[in-house]
Amino acid sequence: MAPKETKAAAPAKAVKKVRKAPKKEQKVSKYPASLLTAGLYRAVRSRMVKTRLPLSAKTVDPAKVKPKKPVTIVKKIGGAKNGGERTVLLRKNKADLPTKRFAHKRPAKRCFRNHKRNIRKSLKPGKVLILLAGRHKGKRVVLLKTLKTGLLLVTGPFQLNSCPMRRIAQNYVIATTTRVNLRGVKVPEHIDDRYFRRVHPKKDSRTERDIFARKEFKYVPTEQRKADQKTVDTAVMAAIKAHPEGKLIQRYLKSMFSLRTNMFPHRMKF
């Protein structure tokens, strides 16, 4: 006969240990019961002041106590129906009180015209720039200097690409690696932001005029502007001709910048 299979005995169940609850110890705080957190008490300040020791109970030297000055004074008043006397303040209160307690005057440095202008490091005098906006967009010009308002003063020169002296923001300019040495070129000091202001003729509102007539203001450069343009361009052209590749730079300034098929500006090196 085949031997009978005996079942293995089941393992004895582990007895769970019962944890005793820890004894609750009463914590003694070193802070008073009225203190909720740092600097914040359960009771209001007026109540805490009342619980303190009164001033009369403290030992105070009577010689050091300063006599209180009277706030009011009783004045005699004439007249049968005025009461005979009246209590008046020694220091009268202000009749006019300011609406704002601290009304400081702001200095003029906070005006926008006095703000500091941050110019890109690549925009230095003598750099050849490509204009991206305006009437002369696409032209290559020479940077003369940076004005106080943060605008760039550039010139063509005029005899190369018909671009006169004008201002332009640095956002609408691409700086190239080509640079002309302008150390010997001195731009007249009177050529600043006020130099480029245009004065429009005043309209006489008293005279009769046709309301449908359109009279547009046409700008014409002054003789002073023409003379300054010739002076600056002569100095810039002399600096260009003194460059080792002067003829190539003149051709470069005459040419227009444009993008063609498969030309990506972010991949190009100017």
Asked if residue 132 belongs to a domain, the reply is yes
Asked if residue 235 belongs to a domain, the reply is yes
Q: pLDDT tens digit string along 199-240?
A: 777 777 766 666 676 767 788 888 999 999 999 999 999 999
Give the number of other CB atoms < 10 A from CB of residue 126: 19
Asked if residue 227 belongs to a domain, the reply is yes
Range scoring the smallest mean pLDDT among 48-57, 246-255, 260-269: 48-57
pLDDT of residue 84: 87
Asked if residue 254 belongs to a domain, the reply is yes
pLDDT of residue 51: 62
Q: pLDDT tens digit string along 102-152?
A: 767 766 667 777 788 899 999 999 999 999 999 999 999 999 999 999 999
**In the chain, % of residues over pLDDT 70:** 71
Asked if residue 138 belongs to a domain, the reply is yes
Q: How confident is the model at residue 270 (pLDDT cuts 50, 70, 90)?
A: confident
User: Per-residue pLDDT averaged across 48-63, rounded?
Assistant: 65
Average pLDDT score over the chain: 82
User: Which of the listed ranges 19-33, 40-54, 110-124, 156-170 does the model predict with the highest average pLDDT?
Assistant: 156-170
Asked if residue 48 belongs to a domain, the reply is no
Asked if residue 64 belongs to a domain, the reply is no
Range scoring the smallest mean pLDDT among 10-19, 86-95, 181-190, 191-200: 10-19
- The reported pTM is 0.57
Asked if residue 230 belongs to a domain, the reply is yes
Task: Judge whether residue 190 has pLDDT over 60.
Answer: yes
pLDDT of residue 79: 84
Q: How confident is the model at residue 250 (pLDDT cuts 50, 70, 90)?
A: very high
Number of domains in the chain: 1
C-alpha to C-alpha distance for 221 and 227, rounded to whole angstroms = 10
Residue 244 belongs to what domain range? 127-199+219-258
